[in-house]
Structure 1
Amino acid sequence: MKQQELNIAIVQTSLVWENPERNRENFSKKFKSLSEKVDLIILPEMFTTGFTMSPGNIKYEEGQKTLDWMLMEAKNQNAAIVGSILFFENGHFFNRLFFVEANGTISKYDKRHTFTLAGEDRVYKAGTESLIIDYKGFRINPMICYDLRFPVWARNTQNYDVLIYVANWPKPRIRAWDILLKARAIENMSYAIGVNRCGTDEAGFVYSGHSAVYDCLGEQMVFATEETICFTTLNKNHIDTTRDKLKFLEDRDEFTLKL
């Protein structure tokens, strides 16, 4: 069903290191406390394990267990849920994002740009395809963390309305996160949503949150530094009206992306 507004909830939280069961339990508790009716709930990157480079520490079946949990919670909340998890398939580990709808529809995206600085490219298989989801009248392009640094991958050639980045983006480089997220909104004339974790992981990395939402003109709608759930509403008419008035996307360069 198409609609002009999309109500979203952003869950910014600390994560329990390499413990899918505890993290699922914690998120279930948070969902029960939701104070507003929402259409979409957004969770951080690798929300059941933290950004571990030791995927072998996690039982192979945990990925499917989390996907089943997402299906259950999406139905319970009558809302879509999106976030990335460690997933094992066909002999490979993936940092895989799932977008799960209340009706049971599942869409997936494998992180295109694995984070070489941490060695993610050596343990997780990179994806090769982007994902556009048509959901309640909004076209959504979800991505994962390090993808944010690569504007060509996000270039709005498919007329999407919303960019989503789920992340484990550490505090020392948080200024880059703030600037790039806003830039992606402005250059693509879309909403840009970034959902980061907070707290400290077992590898000693500190995360300061800075989850945020920007509209298609780069105006900040949401910003958070503490453990919290943030709510905001996206408006389709705002995007359409702004693009009709400011036809910047029509002047974009044409290119072909080689993978």
Structure 2
Amino acid sequence: MKISGLNLDISWKNKEENFSKITEQFSDVVADIYLLPEMFATGFCMQPAEIADRNGETLKWMQEFARDKDAAVCGSVSVEDSGKFYNRMYFVKPDGSWEKYDKRHLFSFSGEDKVYTAGKERVVVNYNGFRILLQVCYDLRFPVFSRNKGDYDLALYVANWPEKRVAAWQHLLKARAIENLAGVFGLNRIGKDGNDLVYTESSHAFFADGTELSTKDGNIISAEFNLTELQDFRSHFRFLDDGDRFAIED
């Protein structure tokens, strides 16, 4: 399965401009899943009342994109739902059906927890034979939540992770792949946001042993994941069988 992500220089609070950028930069790219950064339509904005989707406008655009590409598209969006705001990750399939994951770990350092509501459900999507765990940015720092209980093969992380802390992002992505015997694809944004935070190109894809899988062509990062190879690797190194048993409490 091929995944292609866009290292997007997100236009601040400008959905239509970002949709246009994405469509153009992916125009000649063929993949099974197209991956977009955290809050790709607006940037990581702490004024959800100004930018949040209320009528599913970004989801509708994603559905059109998925149908046009005959592939899945995945990324996170600021949305209002039943009077609350969520940093919501959508996984949209070619037929327009979709699943969602609401970011559980809100970035208190920026005040995200004051304006957005944390999700509670861990979400694994089934697509093209792969079981895919959906994760957003700050979730990466909490390994208990992403602990592989034998229920996923690949984890997708989308982020707005600034340059000043990017070393942690890069090291933790590889660690999640190794400790969970899973493929990991981490997509970060690039450029500068409306708060003058700088984002450097730092997207990566790893095999379960920590081997880098990604290839880069301009702002496009791609990786091929082979389920047979992953299953074979797991059959030889059955480390998950020795993991401690525990449950996450709210």
TM-score by length of 1: 0.93
Distance verdict in 2 for CA 1:256–1:59, change over 3 Å: closer
Please report how far the alpha carbon of residue 222 of structure 1 lies from its aligned counterpart in structure 2 after TM superposition: 1.7
Residue deviations 1:132-184 (CA, integer Å, cap 9, x gap): 11101100001000000000000001431001100000000000001100000
Identical aligned residues as a percent: 40
Provide the C-alpha distance between the structure 1 equivalents of 2:172 and 2:221, rounded to a whole number of angstroms. Answer: 20
Equivalent of 2:188 in 196, 199, 203: 196
Matched, 1:72 2:64: yes
> Residue 26 of structure 1 aligns with which residue?
21
Equivalent of 2:174 in 174, 178, 182: 182
CA contact (8 A) 1:210 1:223 kept: no
CA contact (8 A) 1:14 1:197 kept: yes
> Residue 245 of structure 1 aligns with which residue?
236
Provide the C-alpha distance between the structure 2 equivalents of 1:95 and 1:152, rounded to a whole number of angstroms. Answer: 20
Residue deviations 1:88-134 (CA, integer Å, cap 9, x gap): 11001110000000012200000000000000000000000010111
Please report how far the alpha carbon of residue 60 of structure 1 lies from its aligned counterpart in structure 2 after TM superposition: 4.4
Please report how far the alpha carbon of residue 209 of structure 1 lies from its aligned counterpart in structure 2 after TM superposition: 2.3
CA contact (8 A) 1:96 1:110 kept: yes
Superposition map of 1:139-154 within 5 A: 139-154=131-146
Alignment length (residue pairs): 250
CA contact (8 A) 2:35 2:187 kept: yes
Q: Which ranges in structure 1 are unaligned for 5 or more consecutive residues?
A: 1-5
Distance verdict in 2 for CA 1:223–1:169, change over 3 Å: farther
Equivalent of 1:128 in 89, 110, 120: 120
Superposition map of 1:75-90 within 5 A: 75-90=67-82
Letter in 2 for 1:45: E
> Residue 5 of structure 2 aligns with which residue?
10
CA contact (8 A) 2:75 2:89 kept: yes
Letter in 1 for 2:11: V
Equivalent of 2:227 in 236, 251, 254: 236
Letter in 2 for 1:237: T
Instruction: Kindly report structure 1 stretches of 4+ aligned residues shifted beyond 4 Å.
Output: none
Q: 1:153 is paired with a residue of what secondary structure?
A: coil
Matched, 1:164 2:159: no
CA RMSD in angstroms comes to 1.3
Please report how far the alpha carbon of residue 58 of structure 1 lies from its aligned counterpart in structure 2 after TM superposition: 2.0
Provide the C-alpha distance between the structure 1 equivalents of 2:64 and 2:135, rounded to a whole number of angstroms. Answer: 23
Equivalent of 2:46 in 53, 69, 72: 53
Provide the C-alpha distance between the structure 2 equivalents of 1:185 and 1:154, rounded to a whole number of angstroms. Answer: 10
Q: 2:225 is paired with a residue of what secondary structure?
A: strand
Which moves more between the two structures, 25-34 or 127-136? 25-34
Residue deviations 1:179-227 (CA, integer Å, cap 9, x gap): 1000000000000110000001110100012100000000111266x96
> Residue 39 of structure 1 aligns with which residue?
32
Q: Which ranges in structure 2 are unaligned for 5 or more consecutive residues?
A: none
